[in-house]
């Protein structure tokens, strides 16, 4: 055999599991995952969501059991989404002190004080038209919406939220929420801003889960155009200046370049939202036997982290420990 003189043989470090693990650059840990939880107003029931196998809308009592399971599986951060019975034009169930989220916050804090409680602060689930703000003549108004977001954030903080996560893509939302939290004595409540949120088809299954499909038009006048990258940096820097504590990019999988670019430009922790459509695609392919679910999920989540996400919000969070175990 002729001897080939190679300067580099990367395969030396791929020889076995031990050496592969030794040089592994990206590691997933449940401590950096957030699980989304949907809560409805019914009693003793969990309603399955046909487009998201394995995900449910929980009544308050069932939610508690689910949270306990998450905690046992080392997921100690949750982001709550409410499905109220009452929808109107002012999203009044979003800021009602007895609203579904406010009740859920109190319940979780009472039974699991160590759970990190994040609230999605948006109005679409609470508006009869399904848009994320006040609507006038078929337009979503920015500044009047801020006032309602402030009210919602303060009432979420008052009922126990540790982190407020405004997701409506209204200009100035971080600034106005920060100042009303401070004015109301909630200086220690953090803000995780959905700073870079694209108008995406991948939210489809979520809108079934959260019953928040816009009744007319779309969200393109407030969510970002998927074609834009520099605008993402602008949005992230604006929210950093306005007082956000964590910046989020959403969705994750089709936006890995955006995650990497935002990471380069901000000095805050970066979260990525691995959204409903990303979950459902893998579930559907796996159900058809077209893909190995555990391997595909691990590869996807690793890619999101490798791109620069410090934190991942994912519907797979609840299964993460089992997925990591299965891939050993």
d(CA 166, CA 163): 10
Question: Among this protein's residues, is 250 annotated catalytic?
Answer: yes
Which range, of 89-97, 118-126, 148-156, 291-299, touches ligand PBG by CB under 6 A? Answer: 118-126
CB 207 → ligand PBG: shortest distance, Å? 6
- Type and span of the H or E element at 8: none
C-alpha span between 211 and 240 (Å, rounded) = 31
The region of 67-75, 87-95, 119-127, 296-304 touching ligand PBG under the rule CB under 6 A is 119-127
When asked if residue 122 is in the footprint of ligand PBG (CB under 6 A), the reply is yes
Among 76, 207, 229, 291, binds ligand PBG (CB under 6 A): 207
Q: Check residue 33 for interaction with ligand PBG (CB under 6 A).
A: no
- Can residue 129 be called a binding residue for ligand PBG (CB under 6 A)? no
Residue 124 makes contact with ligand PBG by CB under 6 A: yes
Q: Which of 87, 109, 110, 197 is catalytic?
A: 197
> Least separation, in Å, of the C-beta of 125 and ligand PBG?
7
Asked whether the beta carbons of 232 and 178 are under 8 A apart, the reply is: no
Residue 173 or 307 having the CB closest to ligand PBG: 173
Token readout for 251 is: 């969705």
* Closest residue by Cα to residue 118 from 105, 100, 103: 105
Interaction mask 166-205, ligand PBG, x per CB under 6 A: -x-----------------------------------x--
DSSP letter string, 66-80: HHHHHHHTT--EEEE
Distance CA 162, CA 116 (A): 6
In the bound state with ligand PBG, the residue whose beta carbon lies nearer, of 204 and 325, is 204
Q: How far is the CB of 221 from ligand PBG (least distance, A)?
A: 13
Which of 166, 308 has the CB closer to ligand PBG?
Answer: 166
Return the residue nearest ligand PBG (CB atom): 206
Residues 37-76 that bind ligand PBG (CB under 6 A): none
What part of residues 272-311 is at the interface with ligand PBG (CB under 6 A)? 275-276
Q: Is the Cβ–Cβ distance between 221 and 140 less than 8 Å?
A: yes
CA distance 299 to 305: 10
Q: Which of 3, 65, 241, 250 is catalytic?
A: 250
Q: Among 83, 117, 115, which residue's Cα sits nearest to residue 100?
A: 83
Strand ranges, E, within the chain: 33-40, 46-48, 56-58, 77-83, 116-121, 134-136, 139-141, 163-166, 190-197, 246-250, 270-274, 311-314
Q: Which residues of this chain interact with ligand PBG, rule CB under 6 A?
A: 120, 122, 124, 132, 167, 203, 206-207, 219, 275-276
Residues with a catalytic annotation lie at: 197, 250
């Amino acid at each position: 055999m002729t001897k080939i003189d190679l300067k580099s043989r990367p395969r030396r470090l791929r020889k076995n599991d031990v050496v592969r693990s030794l040089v592994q650059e990206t590691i997933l840990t449940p401590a950096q995952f957030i699980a989304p939880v949907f809560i409805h107003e019914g009693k003793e029931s969990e309603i399955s969501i046909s487009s998201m196998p394995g995900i449910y809308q929980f009544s308050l009592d069932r939610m508690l059991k689910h949270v306990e399971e998450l905690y046992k599986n080392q997921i100690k951060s949750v982001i709550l989404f409410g499905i109220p019975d009452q929808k109107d034009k002012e999203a009044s169930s979003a800021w009602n002190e007895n609203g579904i989220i406010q009740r859920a916050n109190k319940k979780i804090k009472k039974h699991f004080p160590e759970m990190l409680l994040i609230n999605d602060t948006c109005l679409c689930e609470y508006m009869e038209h399904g848009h994320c703000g006040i609507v006038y003549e078929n337009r979503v108004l920015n500044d009047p919406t801020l006032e309602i977001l402030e009210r919602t954030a303060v009432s979420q903080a008052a009922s126990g939220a540790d982190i407020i996560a405004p997701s409506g893509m209204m200009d100035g939302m971080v600034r106005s929420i920060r100042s009303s939290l401070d004015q109301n004595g909630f200086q220690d409540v953090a803000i995780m801003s959905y700073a870079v949120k694209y108008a995406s088809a991948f939210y489809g299954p979520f809108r079934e889960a959260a019953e928040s499909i816009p009744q007319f038009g779309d969200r393109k006048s407030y969510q970002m155009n998927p074609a834009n990258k520099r605008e993402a940096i602008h949005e992230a820097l604006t929210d950093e200046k306005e007082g956000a504590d964590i910046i989020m990019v959403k969705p994750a999988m089709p936006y890995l370049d955006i995650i990497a670019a935002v990471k380069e430009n901000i000095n805050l922790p970066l979260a990525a939202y691995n959204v409903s459509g990303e979950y459902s695609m893998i579930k559907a392919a796996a159900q058809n036997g077209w893909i190995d679910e555990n391997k595909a999920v691990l590869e996807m989540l690793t890619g999101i982290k490798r791109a620069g996400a410090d934190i991942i919000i994912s519907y797979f969070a609840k299964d993460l420990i089992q997925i990591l175990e299965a891939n050993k």
